[in-house]
Amino acid sequence: MSSIRTFAKKYGWSYLFILPSLLTFALFTLIPVLWSLVISFQKYSLARGGTWVTPIYANYAQAFTMLNGIFLISIRNTLVYTLFTVTANILIGLMIASLIQPLANYMRTFFRAAYYLPAVTSALIIGLTWAYIFNAQWGFATYLTRMFGLPPIRWLSDPDIALTSITLSAILTIPATAIVLFSAAMGSIPLEYYEAADLDGANPIQKWWHITVPLVKSTTLYLVVLYTIASFEVFERIYVMVPSGVGNATQTIVTQIYANGFKEFDFGIASAQAFVLFGMIAAIAFFQFRALRSDVEY
Amino acid sequence: MTTNTEIFPKIESKSAHRRFTFNGYRVLAWFVLIVTTIIALFPMYWLFANAFTPITSTPPLTPILVPAFKLDNFERLLVNNKFYLNWMLNSLIVAFAVTAFHVICDTMAGYAFAKKRFPGRNLLFVLILSTLMIPIHVTFIPLYIINRQLGLIDSLWALILPGTAWVFGIFLMRQYIQTLPSELEDAARIDGCSEFGVFRYVIFPLSRPAVAALAIFTFVRSWNDFLWPVIALNKPQNYTLTVGVANLQGEFMTDWGIIFSGAALAAIPMIIFFLLFQKYFIEGVRMGALKG
């Protein structure tokens, strides 16, 4: 009895301090994740609960084969979107951060704020504004094509173009987080490196390529992972830009999870698809872990 | 010629050359910065230009680039859509509740993980960290089932309760509190402060910068949340702002003025919020990225 009392006296406050956060974490993250894994092997109905499917991987198999393999198409769409978006985001972020680095402090603050401003509004509102820009009748992009005498483009209703338009909107959304983090990383590079390069007669481009780029490598890696995960999870932008979809052309992983889970109420299939997404993200995280471990510290 | 005169002009010409090329780069640099700033701000600007120009049906084919600074659209929005203010209130309630929880509870948890020793500490922390990258979509189906069984679907509780389960704050606060010196805590304890008193009067005030960043991030995240609210809310009067705005287009198909003003009005609070607390936003992004 007294040992329990000494234990409580010694550690009681610590456990009390972590209790509220860990309780909600357990109830609304940990248990749902584990339960979802169970459901991914079940046929689940709200009225009757879950029954195991046979074979046990049936939901996963069906997720990939149903409706002529639409899930595979949506994975491909997601990967195409991710490849272009992440590449552009990293390059644009690196470029802008490099360009604002030599500026006076107040200019740097101004630009960082200007780039960051749109990022505080929700992905939904940003998606909506892009939907307006691509409106086939009065959208700004449509106006531009008309002004340059180009034939009208059905930005969001042509199945061959819709995904490109959506990707374009993501590329043109200036990557605020990348700018802030690159900017911070560049600020911590010792000036002596650049002075030494000056003595060797290096031009700004050479200094950038041989000093700046290698020394922000771990930030680059972190951002690649961050933006890749965000792109894998793309949803709002698509939900508002092509509300009813353009055939299969604009289906992504999360739009499929949403449709199967909360339009068809097929929880088994939707959970299986969510865990496929989980697996893809885990693979990216594992890659980052490996790359960081082999990274040289400066 | 002495070596001195040989070296001296060489350096001078080199630095002159450098200044010249530097200017060339500089013109290009400014060009790129200005163009990208316009690209960054244009979509939002265009939305506002349209929202502040009276439009009752289809917008003009020549884009509105200069707003008329009239509030007609907003007036019609609030008159014709009786729920808009409800949506805003709902978003506010959820965001405040979730933020209050995280600011208090995550700071306590972060303090315990940073400064205290107790059995299971490392195991629990690794468990929390390892779930940071799990896509939230994995949790939606069980959360839906739980909320339905509790009868919470279509109520704000369905957003507030899951909203409290976000471990990023614990991680952020632990990182920050680790950097605080322990002498102040010890001094407070010697002065007879209780354990909670140490937290309340020493740790919490000292953590203010991180608390501010956490509060801002939690609030913005909650305010902007969309997918889970779409799943959890059905009746129009229960919508949050993002869900309501997404549905405006279906409701007022022919009155674009209402749609524009609805979207713009949803963005305005966050933009004002950002302009007021800009420093904390940028600091927060940096702090959140610290690895450990």
The CATH code of the domain that includes B262 is 1.10.3720.10
Which of B72, B87, B117 is the last residue in one of the domains? B72
Mean pLDDT of B185-197: 85
Query: Does the model's ipTM exceed the 0.90 cut?
Result: no
Alpha carbon distance A22, B174 (integer Å): 14
Domain count within chain B = 2
State the pLDDT at residue B292. 29
Are residues B150 and B269 both part of a single domain? yes
Are residues B231 and B273 both part of a single domain? yes
Alpha carbon distance B6, B2 (integer Å): 6
Residues 6 or more apart in contact with residue B44 via CB below 8 angstroms:
A117, A118, A121, A126, A129, B267, B271
State the pLDDT at residue B13. 38
For an interface test with B, the pick among A75, A100, A103, A120 (most B C-beta atoms closer than 10 Å) comes out as: A120
Are residues B15 and B129 both part of a single domain? no
Neighboring chain A residues of B267 at a CB cutoff of 8 Å: 121-122, 125
Alpha carbon distance A11, A3 (integer Å): 12
Residues A171-188, buried b or exposed e (16+ Cβ, 10 A)? Answer: bbbbbbbbbbbbbbbbee
Count of CB pairs separated by less than 8 Å, A with B = 257
CB–CB of B139 and A28 under 8 A?
A: yes
Domain that holds residue B11: 3-72
Are residues B111 and B67 both part of a single domain? no
CB–CB of B29 and A129 under 8 A?
A: no
In CATH, A57-293 is 3.40.50.300: no
CB–CB of B134 and A278 under 8 A?
A: yes
Are residues B180 and B49 both part of a single domain? no
CB–CB of A181 and B285 under 8 A?
A: yes
pLDDT single digits (tens) A267-280: 999 999 999 999 99
Quote the mean pLDDT of chain A: 88
Are residues B63 and B102 both part of a single domain? no
Are residues B130 and B19 both part of a single domain? no
Are residues B91 and B57 both part of a single domain? no
Mean pLDDT of B14-19: 42
Mean pLDDT of A253-270: 92
Residue B81 gets the label, from left (phi > 0), alpha (psi -120 to 50) or beta, of beta
Are residues B67 and B205 both part of a single domain? no
Residues in chain A: 298
CB–CB of B29 and A46 under 8 A?
A: no
Are residues B45 and B105 both part of a single domain? no
Mean pLDDT of B160-170: 91
Quote the mean pLDDT of chain B: 85
Are residues B189 and B230 both part of a single domain? yes
* pLDDT at position B78 over 50: yes
For an interface test with B, the pick among A110, A125, A273, A275 (most B C-beta atoms closer than 10 Å) comes out as: A125
Which of B50, B72, B94 is the last residue in one of the domains? B72
Are residues B26 and B89 both part of a single domain? no
* pLDDT at position A246 over 90: no
Alpha carbon distance A132, A120 (integer Å): 19
Alpha carbon distance B18, B164 (integer Å): 55
Domain boundaries, chain A: 57-293
Q: Single out the residue of A293, A233, A231 nearest to residue B139, CA to CA.
A: A233
Residues A19-58, buried b or exposed e (16+ Cβ, 10 A)? Answer: ebbbebbebbbbbbbebbbebbbbbbeeeeebeebeeeeb
Neighboring chain B residues of A95 at a CB cutoff of 8 Å: 32
* pLDDT at position A78 over 80: yes
Neighboring chain B residues of A232 at a CB cutoff of 8 Å: 135
State the pLDDT at residue B18. 44
| A249 and A159 Cβ atoms separated by less than 8 Å | yes
pLDDT single digits (tens) A148-166: 988 888 898 888 889 999 9
State the pLDDT at residue B116. 86
pLDDT single digits (tens) B237-264: 999 999 999 988 777 777 888 888 999 9
Which range in A134-138, B55-59, B91-95, B127-131 is most confidently predicted, on average pLDDT?
Answer: B91-95
